[in-house]
Amino acid sequence: MMYDTLKTLLGSDILAMVIQAALPLIFVLTFVLFAVWLERKVSAHMQDRLGPMRVGWHGYLQTIADLLKLLQKEDIVSTDVDKPLFNIAPFLVFAGTYAVFAAIPFSSGFIGSEIDLGIFFIIGVSGLVVAGILMAGWSSNNKYSLLGAMRSAAQIVSYEIPTMLVVVSLVMVTGTMNLRTLSEMQSGYFWNWMIFGGPDMGISKFIFIPFMIIGFIVIYISTLAEVNRTPFDIPEAESELVSGYHTEYSGMKFAMYFLAEYANMFAVSAIVATIFLGGYQSPFGYLGNLFNAHWLIPFEQFFWFAAKGCFFVFVQMWLRWTLPRLRVDQLMAVCWKYLIPIAFVDLLIIGLITVL
Amino acid sequence: MKEYLSNIWKALATISIGMKVTFKHLFVPAVTIQYPDVKPELPERERNRLYVNMDDCIGCDQCARACPVDCIEIETVKAIPGEDLGKTSNGKKKALWVTVFDIDIAKCCYCQLCVFPCPTECIYMTDVYEFSEFERGNLVYDFVTLTPEEREEKKNNFAKFEAEKAAQKAAAAAPKPEAPKAAATVVEAPKNPGNGGEVKQ
């Protein structure tokens, strides 16, 4: 819808495409500015302190100050690094993260590209991050970076499995992988959301609820591990690996990793919100419908989408400051011994319920 | 199998307890004091920068001797008799001009050991703690209230007085060796006849 509006507005095919591709980027950048500030304030208040207070009102311009600082730093490249890999790695990580935004529906009026295999595409392309991280760790010529990168690769690859199992169980229930259709199916009020069993009001809806909730928890935990957030942040464990795979980076490249991490956090929260909690649908109905101003609806939906994404990002930050870091063998145990069997059993039960 | 399920249950339960605690702490007011705008409340007898009230200082050097890091330097000059330096606030009469009273506040360890020996309580700790300087030399505080010319004048007065005394002494000492000689001869003369009469064998 957005593409057509832009095309009629501007008259040119290519310009409309460019703007449509750039809009999620603008959103991501603004979100990262907000998220870094939010993280610092939330972590500070959870620790009974204040966080940044001087730059702007309560420090909200602190991220901009940090960005300017990172921009003007010297780009240090040590002599023994593998130069092509070292230079490309940050951009690969960011590209892998940003490509996910192409398939997420921001509102009913805007989706980057409507892919019928939406979720499949997302999970596949977020694996590009592994390649980037491995390149970064290997080319840094530093044993700590290498360790961090290896652990990260193991972690991301193994936690893709519970994610995929839960997604498959959801696909069985809804019959589609297209994210826009999934969001449209959950329209109405909040009891139509997937986590509460889905749109059809039968007895099966109520039987689904506990298994949907289990699936939600499993996918939230495994996507937390995919973005390398505590308690799974071994790859960038600040106290253990001196910053892991991005130890040797300085200046703009480090800013890229930072950007990629926060963009990834939002992408993953957005995916979880879309498939389980109704994506851009509002829980109560639309003000646009109330006042008969139907043009308002896509903007409202965007607001709900951003709100749900931000809420899950806030929960990720909350978890970060509550839980200690898992050891690498505990991390693997959680994935292979707990999450995968639970997700698998969940899949079987949901499949049985769907068939019967 | 039971252990497996109890592990899962324990994990979820403890994580939610932890999350409840952190969430409660979100609403606890922060304990940070935003320093330059808000100053912390210090205790009443907090030991901060030293101050010397020179009107009461009698130049006894007790504070300099008590200082463990030797940050106080005192030089005094005796007053010439007849000069009136005034009294301290507890009635003692001052007898020394203090020409140098330097405290190197960078060396000072704020132990308060110089405050107790002072007989007139003229040195004491104030509540000033923000006195950083750009030049290190500015941290040597000079408490003497006399101008440099006055200090020189007192020193010279005393030196002159000493010189005069020494000159007087020299003048008194020079005729002195002659006087005893003359006295000796005078004394010995009457002694001789006396001696003749009283020769003991």
Contact B25 A45 (CB under 8 A): yes
Q: Does any CB of chain B come closer than 8 Å to the CB of residue A330?
A: no
Residue A174: the pLDDT is 86
pLDDT at site B20: 92
- Chain A environment of B35 (Cβ under 8 Å): none
Q: Which is it for strands B123-125 and B50-52: parallel, antiparallel or unpaired?
A: antiparallel
Percent with pLDDT over 70 in chain B: 87
CA–CA dist A39, A57 (Å, integer): 16
Residues of chain A with pLDDT under 50: none
Residue B62's pLDDT is 92
Residue B117's pLDDT is 92
Does B18 lie at the interface with A, CB-CB under 8 angstroms?
yes
- B5 has a chain A CB within 8 A of its CB: no
Task: Find the residue in A nearest to B24 (Cα).
Answer: A46
Of B106, B118, B34, B39, residue with least CA distance to B71: B106
Residue B25 forms contact with A (CB below 8 Å)? yes
Nearest to A50 among B19, B22, B32 (CB): B32
What pLDDT, on the 0 to 100 scale, is given for residue A269? Answer: 92
**Full DSSP string of B20-50:** HHHHHHHTSPP----TTTSPPPPPTT----E
> How many interface pairs between A and B have CB atoms less than 8 angstroms apart?
39
- A201/A236 Cα distance (integer angstroms): 46
B53 neighbors B122 (Cβ within 8 angstroms): yes
Q: Tell whether B34 lies on the interface with A, counting CB pairs under 8 A.
A: yes
pLDDT tens over chain B, length 201 residues: 899 999 999 999 999 999 999 899 888 888 888 888 888 888 888 899 999 988 888 888 999 999 999 999 999 888 887 777 777 787 778 888 888 899 999 999 999 999 999 988 889 898 888 888 899 888 998 888 888 888 888 888 888 888 888 888 888 877 666 565 555 555 554 444 544 444 454
Global ipTM? 0.80
pLDDT at res. B134: 93
Distances (CA, A) of B27 to A47, A97, A314, B62: 10, 34, 15, 55
**Quick check: bond before B148 cis, omega within 30?**
no
Question: Does residue B99 sit in helix, strand or coil?
Answer: strand
Residue B22: list chain A partners with CB under 8 A.
Answer: 46, 318, 321-322
Chain A residues with CB-CB distance to B29 below 8 A: 48
What's the DSSP call for residue A57?
A: G
Query: Of A50, A322, A338, which has the smallest distance from its Cβ to B22's Cβ?
Result: A322
CA max distance for chain B: 140
| A48 interface with B at CB cutoff 8 Å | yes
Helices A83-100 and A252-277 cross at an angle (nearest 10°) of 30
One-letter amino acid at B174 equals A
pLDDT computed for residue B182 by the predictor: 55
Chain A positions touching B37 (Cβ under 8 A) are none
